[in-house]
Homo-oligomer: A and B are copies of this chain.
Amino acid sequence: MVARKSLKGDYCPSARSLDVIGDWWSLLIVRDAFDGLTRFSEFQKSLGIAKNILTERLRTLVASGILELAPTSEGGTRMEYRLTPMGKDLFPVMVALRQFGERHLFAPAEEHSLLVDRASGQPVQLDIRAQDGRSIGPDETVIVKVAEEK
Protein backbone atom coordinates (compact mmCIF):
# COMPACT_ATOMS: atom_id res chain seq x y z
CA MET A 1 0.00 0.00 0.00
CA VAL A 2 2.91 2.36 0.10
CA ALA A 3 2.54 4.14 3.40
CA ARG A 4 -0.91 5.45 4.06
CA LYS A 5 -1.01 9.22 3.98
CA SER A 6 -1.03 10.93 7.36
CA LEU A 7 -3.45 13.76 8.02
CA LYS A 8 -1.97 14.87 11.32
CA GLY A 9 -1.11 18.26 9.93
CA ASP A 10 -4.47 18.92 8.33
CA TYR A 11 -6.30 21.96 9.63
CA CYS A 12 -9.62 20.13 9.42
CA PRO A 13 -10.70 18.49 12.67
CA SER A 14 -12.62 15.79 10.83
CA ALA A 15 -9.51 14.83 8.92
CA ARG A 16 -7.48 14.56 12.10
CA SER A 17 -10.15 12.42 13.68
CA LEU A 18 -10.10 10.13 10.68
CA ASP A 19 -6.34 9.98 10.96
CA VAL A 20 -6.79 8.43 14.40
CA ILE A 21 -9.90 6.29 14.03
CA GLY A 22 -10.50 6.26 10.30
CA ASP A 23 -9.07 2.89 9.46
CA TRP A 24 -11.02 -0.23 8.81
CA TRP A 25 -11.05 -1.71 12.33
CA SER A 26 -10.62 1.01 14.93
CA LEU A 27 -14.20 2.21 15.08
CA LEU A 28 -15.48 -1.34 15.23
CA ILE A 29 -13.25 -1.96 18.23
CA VAL A 30 -14.53 1.24 19.81
CA ARG A 31 -18.10 0.16 19.12
CA ASP A 32 -17.44 -3.09 20.94
CA ALA A 33 -15.84 -1.18 23.77
CA PHE A 34 -19.00 0.92 24.11
CA ASP A 35 -20.84 -2.37 24.07
CA GLY A 36 -18.92 -3.42 27.18
CA LEU A 37 -16.18 -5.61 25.76
CA THR A 38 -12.82 -5.24 27.45
CA ARG A 39 -10.66 -8.30 26.78
CA PHE A 40 -8.44 -9.14 23.86
CA SER A 41 -10.23 -12.41 23.26
CA GLU A 42 -13.64 -10.77 23.41
CA PHE A 43 -12.76 -8.33 20.67
CA GLN A 44 -11.20 -11.10 18.66
CA LYS A 45 -14.25 -13.30 18.83
CA SER A 46 -16.67 -10.49 18.25
CA LEU A 47 -14.94 -9.04 15.21
CA GLY A 48 -13.24 -12.05 13.67
CA ILE A 49 -10.18 -9.85 13.22
CA ALA A 50 -6.74 -11.37 12.75
CA LYS A 51 -4.97 -11.41 16.09
CA ASN A 52 -1.85 -9.60 14.97
CA ILE A 53 -3.97 -6.81 13.54
CA LEU A 54 -6.00 -6.62 16.72
CA THR A 55 -2.79 -6.39 18.71
CA GLU A 56 -1.61 -3.48 16.61
CA ARG A 57 -4.95 -1.67 16.60
CA LEU A 58 -5.35 -1.95 20.35
CA ARG A 59 -1.83 -0.63 20.78
CA THR A 60 -2.58 2.30 18.50
CA LEU A 61 -5.83 3.08 20.26
CA VAL A 62 -4.06 3.02 23.62
CA ALA A 63 -1.28 5.22 22.25
CA SER A 64 -3.90 7.66 20.93
CA GLY A 65 -5.52 7.90 24.34
CA ILE A 66 -8.80 6.33 23.29
CA LEU A 67 -8.36 3.10 25.23
CA GLU A 68 -6.42 2.39 28.38
CA LEU A 69 -4.99 -0.83 29.70
CA ALA A 70 -6.00 -1.43 33.30
CA PRO A 71 -5.75 -4.40 35.66
CA THR A 72 -8.95 -6.42 35.73
CA SER A 73 -11.30 -5.81 38.58
CA GLU A 74 -11.04 -9.52 39.44
CA GLY A 75 -7.55 -8.89 40.77
CA GLY A 76 -5.68 -11.27 38.47
CA THR A 77 -2.68 -10.20 36.48
CA ARG A 78 -4.75 -10.08 33.31
CA MET A 79 -5.48 -6.70 31.86
CA GLU A 80 -8.50 -5.19 30.26
CA TYR A 81 -8.96 -2.50 27.64
CA ARG A 82 -11.28 0.27 28.65
CA LEU A 83 -12.46 3.49 27.05
CA THR A 84 -10.82 6.59 28.44
CA PRO A 85 -12.83 9.80 28.84
CA MET A 86 -11.45 10.78 25.44
CA GLY A 87 -12.65 7.49 24.05
CA LYS A 88 -16.10 8.07 25.47
CA ASP A 89 -16.17 11.35 23.60
CA LEU A 90 -16.48 9.23 20.46
CA PHE A 91 -20.02 8.44 21.57
CA PRO A 92 -21.63 11.00 19.24
CA VAL A 93 -19.69 9.54 16.32
CA MET A 94 -21.02 6.09 17.11
CA VAL A 95 -24.56 7.35 17.53
CA ALA A 96 -24.37 9.25 14.25
CA LEU A 97 -23.09 6.20 12.39
CA ARG A 98 -25.79 4.10 14.00
CA GLN A 99 -28.56 6.44 12.99
CA PHE A 100 -27.30 6.64 9.43
CA GLY A 101 -27.24 2.86 9.25
CA GLU A 102 -30.70 2.52 10.75
CA ARG A 103 -32.10 4.99 8.25
CA HIS A 104 -30.49 3.78 5.08
CA LEU A 105 -28.93 0.38 5.38
CA PHE A 106 -31.73 -1.85 6.59
CA ALA A 107 -34.73 -3.19 4.77
CA PRO A 108 -37.98 -1.85 6.20
CA ALA A 109 -38.94 -5.10 7.88
CA GLU A 110 -35.41 -5.95 8.94
CA GLU A 111 -34.71 -6.00 12.64
CA HIS A 112 -31.66 -4.33 14.09
CA SER A 113 -30.11 -3.44 17.40
CA LEU A 114 -31.26 -0.20 18.95
CA LEU A 115 -29.70 2.35 21.25
CA VAL A 116 -32.09 3.36 23.98
CA ASP A 117 -32.16 5.56 27.06
CA ARG A 118 -31.52 3.27 30.01
CA ALA A 119 -34.02 5.10 32.16
CA SER A 120 -36.98 5.28 29.81
CA GLY A 121 -36.22 2.50 27.35
CA GLN A 122 -36.93 4.96 24.55
CA PRO A 123 -34.59 5.46 21.56
CA VAL A 124 -32.13 8.32 21.82
CA GLN A 125 -32.11 11.26 19.44
CA LEU A 126 -29.26 13.18 17.89
CA ASP A 127 -29.70 16.83 17.02
CA ILE A 128 -27.48 19.42 15.47
CA ARG A 129 -28.52 22.82 16.66
CA ALA A 130 -27.66 26.46 16.30
CA GLN A 131 -26.98 28.45 19.44
CA ASP A 132 -30.61 29.56 19.55
CA GLY A 133 -31.72 25.95 19.77
CA ARG A 134 -33.24 25.39 16.33
CA SER A 135 -31.94 22.31 14.59
CA ILE A 136 -30.03 22.85 11.37
CA GLY A 137 -28.81 20.82 8.41
CA PRO A 138 -25.77 20.95 6.15
CA ASP A 139 -27.14 23.72 3.93
CA GLU A 140 -27.56 26.11 6.82
CA THR A 141 -23.94 25.85 7.87
CA VAL A 142 -20.62 27.08 6.56
CA ILE A 143 -17.12 25.94 7.31
CA VAL A 144 -14.99 28.87 8.26
CA LYS A 145 -11.36 28.33 7.53
CA VAL A 146 -9.09 29.98 10.01
CA ALA A 147 -5.63 30.50 8.56
CA GLU A 148 -2.88 29.06 10.67
CA GLU A 149 -0.46 31.77 11.70
CA LYS A 150 3.23 30.98 11.85
Contact = CB atoms under 8 A, between A and B. Distances in A.
Interface string A1-38: 00011010001111111111011100110010011000
A99 B106 CA distance: 27
Contacts of A123: 131
A1 B27 CA distance: 18
Main secondary structure of the interface of A (DSSP, over half): mixed
26 contacts: A4-B24, A11-B112, A12-B113, A13-B99, A13-B102, A14-B94, A16-B105, A16-B106, A17-B98, A22-B24, A35-B143, A65-B104, A88-B137, A89-B100, A92-B100, A92-B126, A93-B93, A93-B97, A95-B128, A113-B146, A114-B143, A116-B142, A116-B144, A120-B132, A122-B130, A126-B129
B144 A111 contact: no
Interface string A114-146: 111111101111111111100011101111111
